Amino acid sequence: MIKENYRVIGVMSGTSLDGVDLAEIEFNLKNQKWSYKITKSETVSYSPEWVIKLKEAMNYSEAELIQLNENYTDLLGELIKSFIEKNEISNLDAVCSHGHTILHQPQNGFTLQIGNLPKIAKIINEKVVCDFRVQDVQLGGQGAPLVPIGDRILFSEFDYCLNLGGFSNVSFEENGNRVAFDISPVNTVLNFYANKLGLDYDDKGTNARSGKLNLDLLNELNALEYYKKPFPKSLGFEFVKEVVFPLIEKHSIKVEDKMHTFTEHIAVQTNLALNKKQGKMLITGGGAYNDFLIERMQFHLPKIEIIIPDNNTLEFKEALIFALLGVLKLRNEINVLSSVTGAKSDHSSGIIYKY
C-alpha cells in the first residue's frame, strides 16, 4: 500500500546564485488532496569562489564540467548532510534535489544540472531523488518549468502562480490544461547591475526606483524575439549573456537607469504574459521583496490581487515543489506535465539513488 505521509528534504539552487535552499517538509495526502508543512529551512550562501565557478561554468570544456560536477556533488552532499545533522532530522523518506543548472539548451536536446551524481546518496546516507529535467528533454520537452504541477496540486486557489527568481516564470490553467513558461530574466540582470554598484542585490528596488526610464532601451528589450514565441518556452543564462547584456550595454546611461528600465520591462512582460488580467496571483521568489518591481506590476495589472505569502513559502517554494516532485516519483506518479514543457507525454521524471 502506498503511503499517505512523507517526510522529505527539498533542495534547490537557482540561477540567481543566492545559495542552496534546503527545507524539511512533511506532506500529507487526505481525500486525494495534498497538504504540506515546512518544518525547518535554511539558505546556505555560496562562497565567492563557488559563485565565480558557477557563473563561468557555461564556458567550461567537457573535462572541466565533469570535474565541476564531481566537486559540486561533494559540496551539495556535505551541505545536505550538515543540514540533517544540525537539525537532528531522522526518518526521512528521501532527499529530493534539483542540483544546479549549468547548461540549458532544450533546442539541442541537452540540459545539465550538476550535483546529481550517484555518490550524493552515499555522502548523505539517504535515498535521493534528483535529475528531474533530463528525461523531459529526451521526450522532446523544454525540461522547464517543472514547478507548475506543484502549483496545480498545492496552490490551486490562485489564478496565477508567479515566481520571481533569476528568471520569472508563471503558471495558470487554460482550457483545462496547466500552462507555464518563463516570462523574462529578473534577478540575473538586476543583481548584475546591483553588483556594479557594489551591492549584492538592490534592496527593495531602491536604486532602480532612483533611476530614470529610458524609452529606447525599453522598446528594444520589449521587441526581443523570445517574447513573440508561443509557449512552451524557457530561458537559460545563455540568453542573458548573449542577448540581454549586449543590448543593454549599447546604451551609455547610468546603472540606475538601466535597472529602472529593466524593472519596467519585467512588469510590462508580466502583464503581456497573463491570459486574463484579473484574479489572484501568488508571487514567490527573491523578487517578491523588490517593492519597486511589485509596484510596477500592480500598475500594469490593476485588476490582479497580488498576494505575497509567508516567508517560508515565499523563499522556499521551489525547494518545496521539488520535494513534491520527488514524492510523486517515489509513488511512480506523473510529476511533469507535457502541456507545460511540450514533451510527447506526461511522465514521472527523476532518478532514484539508494545509499
Q: Quickly count: other Cβ atoms within 10 Å of residue 192's Cβ.
A: 20
Q: The C-alpha cell of 9 is what?
A: 528534504
Q: What does the pLDDT look like over 97-118, one tens digit per residue?
A: 999 999 888 889 889 999 999 9
Confidence (pLDDT) at 144? 84
CATH homologous superfamily for 148-312? Answer: ATPase, nucleotide binding domain (3.30.420.40)
pTM, to two decimals: 0.87
In whole angstroms, give the CA distance from residue 284 to residue 21.
14
Q: How far is CA 62 from the centre of its chain?
A: 25
Q: How far is CA 299 from the centre of its chain?
A: 25
51 Cβ neighbours under 8 A, 6+ residues apart: 17
Coil/strand/helix, residue 162: strand
Does 2 score more than 80 pLDDT? no
Question: What architecture does CATH give domain 5-142+347-353?
Answer: 2-Layer Sandwich (3.30)
Q: What is the DSSP annotation of 191-245?
A: HHHHHHTT-SS-GGGHHHHHS---HHHHHHHHT-GGGGSPSS----HHHIIIIIH
pLDDT digits (tens, 9 = 90+) for 170-187: 999 999 999 999 999 999
Cell of 110: 541537452
User: Helix, strand, or coil here: 282?
Assistant: strand
CATH 3.30.420.40: which residues of the chain?
Answer: 5-142+347-353, 148-312
Q: How far apart are CA 10 and CA 7, in angstroms?
A: 10
Are the beta carbons of 87 and 79 closer than 8 angstroms?
no
Confidence band, pLDDT 50/70/90 cuts, at residue 1: low
Q: Which of 279, 288, 295 minimizes the C-alpha distance to 314?
A: 288
Provide the pLDDT for residue 232: 83
Residue type at 17 in one-letter notation: L
Amino acid identity at 125 = N
